[in-house]
Amino acid sequence: MKNLPNLYFVRIDNDYLEDSKAFNTKQGAVAYFRRTAEELARYGQACSASIHIAPRMNDVVEYPDFVLSLGVRGGVHIEKA
């Protein structure tokens, strides 16, 4: 079987892992989280997210590769898990 390129699956807060959104790049995944977190912050809600790296959804595991949160100055804090 041909090796598939890795995708970056973003899971927001406690969403089901199967509901993760796939991106071709880590930057795209982080940008998606930033937009979502900023939108929720306008309504006084905080959120976090996780990035799971895998070639396809069937290969995604529960334990994340990165954990994302919105920093105090509006930037995205990325922590390797």
- C-alpha distances (whole Å) from 64 to each of 2, 3, 18, 39, 49 are 25, 21, 13, 23, 9
For the entire predicted model, the pTM comes to 0.90
Q: How many domains does the chain have?
A: 1
Report yes or no on 25 lying in a domain: yes
Report yes or no on 1 lying in a domain: no
Q: Is pLDDT of 79 > 80?
A: yes
Report yes or no on 55 lying in a domain: yes
Report yes or no on 2 lying in a domain: no
Report yes or no on 43 lying in a domain: yes
Q: Is pLDDT of 19 > 80?
A: yes
With cut-offs at 50, 70 and 90, classify the pLDDT of residue 60: very high
What value does the mean pLDDT take over residues 52-72? 94
> pLDDT tens digits for 21-58?
999 999 999 999 999 999 998 999 999 999 999 999 99
